[in-house]
Amino acid sequence: MKRTGVLLLAVLPLLATTACLSVRTSEDHSRDNHSRGPDAKRVEEPGPLDAQVTLADPAKKELAQQIVASAENGTLDWRSAYGYVEDIGDGQGYTAGIIGFCTGTHDLLTLVEGYTKDHPDNALAPYLPALREVDGTDSHQGLDPGFPAAWKREAKVAAFRAAQDEKRDSGYFEPALRLAVGDGLGLLGQFVYYDAMVYHGPGDDRFSVGGIRAAALKRAHSPAEGGDEKAYLGAFLDARRKAMLDKRPGVNTSRVDTAQRRFLDEGNLGLRTPLEWKVYGDTYKVP
């Protein structure tokens, strides 16, 4: 959000008895930040969003964050994750914050760098040299033992929580939304793109959003091209699921299979509430 390297279905059963508002653990979820490094190519974005109701509507955006948090944090209370920090063993160092910024995937470094420009005396600033050294690796060199405590301490500061929000929006939410609107997608499709952006990261290789989208477009036309929206989203989810499994065989794909696919099968292209879905065996409901 956060991501495990793999969730081998043969040996790690779904945590069906976990409460819907459970604390995230390293066995709960997986996001592949393959293309989130400093050299990642960005997905080309269409122009400004038009006047239609989009996921940027405050109520719809809140809903989107709740659904993402169910997979990323094991909770609907996404604001509870600002102080989250853990190495979940996925090869990307520490995972932290509301969508799982990682010490190994550049986005955590740029978050702390930007925040430190405006707040130079923050608790994380002393770790910037180490963050630069470990960027792109899973190393903790220079971060242990104090970095997790410093992150949690700084997460109590309103300005740092706002910085996390801004990084989430500028790096993931807004690019996904522009791309989805450009493809003629409604609210469900916009969410599908956003969740994919959070999990896979922006980029053009086959494991990133651009590559998944390209694979889907080979099978179905987007609504902007005159295609059927439900058919296109089905192709996109198929391509995304394949990318997840190709990258990490055995990974749990329930955020696609029993959440987004469920909404699609129900024909809920407008992401209307009430909603009910499952992720990693847990059931979530939004009235």
Other CB atoms within a 10 A radius of the CB of residue 25 amount to 14
Which listed residue (90, 107, 183, 282) is catalytic? 90
Which value, to the nearest 10 degrees, does the dihedral of the CA atoms of residues 170, 171, 172, 173 take?
Answer: 0
Structure tokens at 2: 């956060």
List 28, 72, 107, 135, catalytic entry: 72
Is 90 part of the annotated catalytic residue set? Answer: yes
- Asked if 136 and 37 count as a contact pair (C-beta separation under 8 A), the reply is yes
How far the first Cα of the chain sits from its last, in Å, is: 23
Give catalytic status of residue 265 as yes or no. Answer: no
DSSP string, 206-272: TTSHHHHHHHHHHHS--GGGT--HHHHHHHHHHHHHHHHHHHSTT---HHIIIIIHHHHHTT-TT-P
Angle between helices 158-168 and 107-118 (to 10 degrees): 130
CA 158/CA 175 separation, integer angstroms: 25
Question: 275 near 285, Cβ under 8 Å?
Answer: yes
How far is it, in rounded angstroms, from Cα 97 to Cα 85? 7
Q: For residue 241, give the amino acid letter.
A: R
Active site residues: 72, 90
